[in-house]
Chain A
């Protein structure tokens, strides 16, 4: 049993759960692409997009709070966009004096940052909805049938299978270390350098174990007839209704982009 819960899939009865994984994947990627192409300050359009995700979450019976809250885990990545607030020059709002240099807060930069933050927040919610409603192995199969390079799909599939095994192995090592990390009052713990050395050798030994396992897995694959080419059982073709749904999604997303540019207010 794994200590790691990698699977976000929530088994529910809904049309979204039942839909073909390929359809869901394309729709999600299309949605995220549409969002990312929205102009800076298109807050009304982003609000509408968020509403769409909330409605879809409701329809999939996963609860809108779950997707909304879940999306906050992507916040740290926003740090990359944070400098925009200070590097833009237009419409300065104020200054921050750090003692070494002065940072100018730019209104334009702030608007860009807010747009990026909202875009990524809504996008992550859409991706979360996909993972809540689609088992990971079905997603992998969908990627394969969408003609992603088979080596890439194989890597994703192995990653999914073995990340839990690796996590188990590393948590066993951590436990073994914790069991021997007793300390007397006021002493113990060791220097930073010593601790770094311990962690370093743990990482190294984890790598070696993973490497050795990969050789055994390869031998197990060879034993069962693998000779360099991964084969798959073909899946069913997309049904008429699914093509229709795909067309509708594409039309809705393009329509939304046009409306967002021409009629919706942009800050």
Chain B
């Protein structure tokens, strides 16, 4: 099913390209004392497509919020393209890492689709004419051209999810981090999502409970449980290990 996808990342095997996203000994403790991440290490090469699976509460979303500096590590660090995520780099990093939240109603906060897709580039300081071009191409790449004047609450969930993706594509990031993109989609919406994820050239880190999605799109899987990475390897190997999946509250596709 997955033949056209390279098993091995297409990026060169050395230099910063092979360590485009780098998470090192990441610990995170919430203000209420809950330790959500207990030493996460993860390296993703440029252009690699990685699925992040694990039970609810494993720390997937918390990890994702570290990748563009929304959460600040309690210990350890995150590097994107060789630059450590900290106060001085965070603006640049947010242009580099596009984070899409699970609920499109959180992601789409502007009155119209156009204003929402333009929000990122506008706040990055992109010139106006360039913003128009980016909005157009971002909406085209998610198949939502012509919806510029529409209001988010008049769109279906699938459409809103696609627009939500467009709102970060317009920032032209090199890394896309998506939180459960297939949750709540009907089969057709899901198929469209899969087609889209396959064609996106960006580095992808996608958290999901949808094992069939994992098998169809992602060559590599990272399994998290209880704030740690418990497995990391080729999808065919990880998804075949039913003992591992069961031990962490997951199921084989």
A and B form one complex: yes
A residues neighboring B (CB under 8 Å):
1-2, 7, 136-137, 140, 157-158, 160-162, 164-165, 213, 216-217, 219-227, 231-234
- Are A231 and B111 in contact (CB-based, < 8 A)? no
Task: Select which of A137, A160, A226 is within 8 A of B123 by beta carbon.
Answer: A226
Most-contacted residue by chain B among A162, A217, A227, A232 (CB, 10 A)? A217
Please determine whether B70 and A219 come into contact, CB atoms closer than 8 angstroms: yes
Q: Does B109 contact A (CB under 8 A)?
A: yes
| CA of A223 to CA of B71, assembled, Å | 11
Interface residues of B (CB under 8 A from A): 65, 68, 70, 91, 94-95, 98-99, 101, 103, 105-112, 115, 118-120, 122-124, 128, 131, 151-154, 156, 167-168, 171
8 contacting pairs across A/B (C-beta < 8 A): A7-B151, A162-B105, A216-B101, A217-B106, A223-B168, A225-B95, A225-B120, A225-B171
For B118, list chain A residues within 8 Å (CB): 233
Nearest CB on B from A233, distance (A): 6
**Given known contacts A223-B98, A227-B123, A233-B122, what 9 new A-B pairs fall within 8 Å (CB)?**
A136-B111, A161-B109, A161-B110, A221-B109, A224-B94, A225-B94, A225-B120, A225-B122, A233-B118
Q: Are B123 and A225 in contact (CB under 8 A)?
A: yes
CB-CB under 8 A from A223, the residues of chain B are: 68, 70, 94, 98-99, 168
CA distance A114 to B106 in the complex (A): 47
CB nearest to A233 among chain B residues: B128
Instruction: Specify which of B101, B153, B154 is in contact with A220 (CB 8 Å cutoff).
Output: B101
Say whether A224 contacts B123, CB under 8 Å: yes
Judging by beta carbons under 8 Å apart, are A224 and B101 in contact? no
Chain B residues near A234: list those with CB within 8 A: 128
Give the 3 A-B CB pairs with smallest separation, nearest first.
A225-B123, A137-B111, A224-B120
Interface residue from A2, A162, A220, A226 paired with B107 (Cβ < 8 Å): A220
A130 to chain B, nearest CB (A): 17
Given A160-B111, A227-B123: A220 touches B106 (CB 8 Å cut-off): yes
The distance from the CB of B112 to the nearest CB of chain A, in whole angstroms, is 5
In the complex, which residue of chain A has the Cβ closest to the Cβ of B98? A223
